[in-house]
Amino acid sequence: MGLIELKDIRKTYVMGDIKLPVLKGITMSVEKGDMVALTGVSGSGKSTLMNILGCLDRPTSGEYWLDGEEISRLSNDGRADVRNRKIGFVFQNYNLFLNKTALQNVTEGLIVARKMHKAEAIEIGKKALDKVGLSDRYDYYPSQLSGGQQQRVALARALVLEPGVLLFDEPLSNLDAKLRVSMRTEIRRIQQATGITAIYVTHDQSEAMALSDSIIIMNKGVVAQIGSPQEIYYHPNSEFVADFIGEANFLKGKCVALEDGCGVLQLADTQVRVAATENMTLGEDYTIVLRPESAGLVPEGNLKCRVVLSCFMGAYQNYHVMVGDTLVKLTDYNPKNHRIYQVGETCALTFEPDGVHVL
């Protein structure tokens, strides 16, 4: 059994006569020490699920097991108790006490909620601030700290309470792009160093990939897919997931032959070989997912295309090509000594049979 087990969690908001089902049967588990990214477009129910996970709200039905205890039916007081003992939060508005220093913010919970002696709390608080890179900011007030530093204080404050699970709800969305990237690396490093179990909500797919042992993708109140970043990227179970995590091209074709573990698909007036799936059947229509970096351009070949965009991005050359009337996006990494195709050129698209995923 995982540290967290959700079984068929449902939540319906009732507003007068209107019933709004927001979570429609969520089942998932989180192993101790794992970091799970919960992602999906805005309105898919991520925050609603986090409020249930954080014991701030109750599901309409379903079971929530935390550390061997079913807690979804507890009274408000019971849930508040679980929340205080076992759950830490890091939100996007840091909720720091503005009239307290960084160190006082971090030690407050230890002294007030945990009744720890001040001297001991200060020692622990300083260590936590050191761990998040703020050893020279103990006595600064939130107004004297940058957004990133405030978020670090919020993280240190959650960590000192040693919660069973740490919940992050879009904690970096108030920070600028560069800082977000360095903070997410930092959060992952600290999570791995402390071995803490964490659930991290983000609508940013690269953040979800960079941070997590596994990703849960939600769509309209249901789980679209759960898996490691690699599983989700290489083996998405739907166009929705393929499109949500990473960039994806979709090519559609009929299976016209099966040979040597490959399926041959008829795409417009040409045939391509793809690694066959278990149930691949002659005569059926399939969609293949082609990642931009899995395809290349060659001067001649049977999958003819025309270049409509050719753009140097430093680390890669970005191409858009038309294959018939389908737009395909590709990235050619490290293009320094590669042949560069120009807009208007006719060439051919290639990929390895196992470089695509068949839906």
Name the site residues for ligand ADP (rule: CB under 6 A).
13, 15, 20, 22, 40, 42-48
Residue 341 has what DSSP assignment?
A: P
Pairwise CA distance, residues 139 & 137, whole Å: 6
Only one of the segments 46-54, 58-66, 158-166, 181-189 lies at the binding site for Mg ion (rule: CB under 5 A); that segment is: 46-54
Give the CA distances from residue 149 to residues 94, 135, 138, 155, 289, in Å, rounded to whole numbers and listed in that order. Answer: 10, 11, 11, 10, 41
332 within 8 A of 317, measured Cβ to Cβ: yes
Taking CB within 5 to 8 Å according to partner kind, which of Mg ion, ligand ADP, none is near residue 212? none
- In the three-class reduction of DSSP (H, G, I as helix; E, B as strand; rest coil), residue 339 is classed as coil
Taking CB within 5 to 8 Å according to partner kind, which of ligand ADP, Mg ion, none is near residue 309? none
Pairwise CA distance, residues 62 & 77, whole Å: 20
Tell me how far, at minimum, the Cβ of 44 lies from Mg ion, in Å.
9
Taking CB within 5 to 8 Å according to partner kind, which of ligand ADP, Mg ion, none is near residue 44? ligand ADP
Tell me how far, at minimum, the Cβ of 328 lies from ligand ADP, in Å.
31
Q: 40 or 109: whose CB is closer to ligand ADP?
A: 40
Taking CB within 5 to 8 Å according to partner kind, which of ligand ADP, Mg ion, none is near residue 13? ligand ADP
Q: 20 or 309: whose CB is closer to ligand ADP?
A: 20
Cβ burial 186-211 (10 Å sphere, 16+ → b, else e): bbbebbeeeebbbbbbbbbbebbbbb
Only one of the segments 39-47, 88-96, 238-246, 305-313 lies at the binding site for Mg ion (rule: CB under 5 A); that segment is: 39-47
Q: 41 or 327: whose CB is closer to Mg ion?
A: 41
Q: 15 or 98: whose CB is closer to ligand ADP?
A: 15
Two structure tokens written together for 251: 């090519």
Give the CA distances from residue 141 to residues 36, 98, 118, 179, 241, in Å, rounded to whole numbers and listed in that order. Answer: 32, 7, 19, 20, 43
Tell me how far, at minimum, the Cβ of 51 lies from Mg ion, in Å.
10
Tell me how far, at minimum, the Cβ of 247 lies from ligand ADP, in Å.
22
Instruction: Give, as ranges, the residues between 79 and 118 that touch Mg ion (CB under 5 A).
Output: none
Tell me how far, at minimum, the Cβ of 59 lies from ligand ADP, in Å.
13
CB nearest Mg ion: which residue? 47
Taking CB within 5 to 8 Å according to partner kind, which of Mg ion, ligand ADP, none is near residue 342? none
Burial of 138 (0-12, 13-18, 19+ CB in 10 A): middle
Tell me how far, at minimum, the Cβ of 13 lies from ligand ADP, in Å.
4
Q: What is the DSSP code string of 120-179?
A: HHHHHHHHHHHHTT-TT-TT--GGGS-HHHHHHHHHHHHHHT--SEEEEESTTTTS-HHH
- Of 47, 205, 212, 214, the one binding Mg ion (CB under 5 A) is 47
Identity (one letter) of the amino acid at 355?
G
Pairwise CA distance, residues 8 & 61, whole Å: 8
Q: 22 or 222: whose CB is closer to ligand ADP?
A: 22
User: Does 202 sit near Mg ion (CB under 5 A)?
Assistant: no
Tell me how far, at minimum, the Cβ of 92 lies from Mg ion, in Å.
9
Q: 40 or 292: whose CB is closer to Mg ion?
A: 40
Cβ neighbours of 333 (radius 10 Å): 11
Q: 13 or 97: whose CB is closer to ligand ADP?
A: 13
User: Which three-class secondary structure string do you get for 37-63?
Assistant: EEECCCCCCHHHHHHHHCCCCCCCEEE
